[in-house]
Structure 1
Amino acid sequence: MDAIDREMLDILRADARTSVRDLATRVGISRASAYARLRRLIDDKVIRAFTIDVDHAAIGLGVSAYVHVRIKQNSWKSFRKKAWALEEAAHVALVAGDFDCVMLVRASDTDHLRDLVLERIQSLPEVLGTQTVLVFEEHHGLV
């Protein structure tokens, strides 16, 4: 990874649909070189996916929350599988600290969120307890 690779990643994070030609022009290298660098970043799994940024409120999922979950020992794999099976789960992570897992979930409204956390997540046999943190505003930027 050099400065050109990092600049390419910044450009693609801002707009994953940037063409190789535009990428090459913006970083000051040939199209062939840009393509080769991009292919290497994909092959080396530096770039894992090309994705889109969705306005969740526009699709009826205007309430977001982080659900901190405490689980039984040695139950991460089974919990992770069940957590990802929830259509509301946007991100599931094993973490260190007071809780074992953090989930980013998206719901249509607070009643939907309440049902998700209190009825569906807390009823999973691996779950010992939860704490929910409501998200007021989200911003996605370059790293």
Structure 2
Amino acid sequence: MDTIDHEILARLVEDGRASYAEIARRLGISRANVRERVQRLREQGVIENFTVVVNPEYLDKRISAFLDVQASPDWLPRLADELAGCDEVASLYVMSDMLSLHVHVLTADMQALEHFTQSRLFAREGILRVECKLLLSRVKHRRGGPRL
């Protein structure tokens, strides 16, 4: 990837609906060049998907909770698979200690969050500890860019 590729990616992260012509004008290159570069970046797996970012409140998801879940190693893969399939789970990560999951959960209200934790976590064998932190306000959030 060169500087132009990075600039194309930055523009697409800013606005995934930016046209090739608009990006080309901004960078001083041809529309065909932008199209070819974007296609190559998709084929290489640099660009995984084009998507939309929706404010969760418009989907009746007013509670944003971050759960750190420690589980015994033999239960971790099964627990991760199960939680990944839950509608309430916005993102899920296996952490470097190989004992814990970091789970971002979106629910309509506190009652729904309590139901989720009671039914999916507290009633489970193999879970050692659960910590929950609620989002108070968003200062900055990712609208694309590297998935690290």
- TM-score strictly above 0.5: yes
Cα RMSD (Å) of the superposition?
A: 1.8
Unaligned runs of 5+ in 2: none
Q: Residue 96 of structure 2 aligns to a residue in which SS?
A: coil
List aligned pairs for 1:65-80, cutoff 5 A. 65-80=65-80
The aligned residue for residue 35 of structure 1 is 35
Matching of residue 5 in structure 1 with residue 39 in structure 2 = no
Matched residue, 2:135? 135
DSSP 3-state at the match of 2:38 = helix
Equivalences for residues 55-74 of structure 1 within 5 A? 55-74=55-74
- Give CA deviations for 1:28-74 in whole Å, capped at 9, x if unaligned: 21111101110111111111111111011111001101110101113
Distance 1:82 1:119, change over 3 A: same
Count of equivalent residues: 143
CA displacement at 1:141 relative to structure 2: 4.2
Tell me the secondary structure at the aligned position of residue 130 of structure 1.
Answer: strand
Task: Give the Å deviation of 1:85.
Answer: 1.3
Per the TM alignment, residue 92 of structure 1 is displaced from its structure 2 partner at its CA by 0.5
Aligned to 1:107: 107
Deviations 1:72-128 (A, max 9, x none): 113332122101111000000011259611011100011111111233223233422
Q: What residue number does 1:53 align with?
A: 53
1:10 shift after superposition: 1.2
Query: Which deviates the most, 111-120 or 61-70?
Result: 111-120
Separation (CA, whole Å) in 2 of partners of 1:2 and 1:96:
31
Counterpart position of 1:124: 124
Q: With the length of structure 1 as denominator, give the TM-score of the two structures.
A: 0.90
The offset of 1:130, in angstroms, is 0.8
Normalising by the residue count of structure 2, what TM-score does the alignment of the two structures yield? 0.87
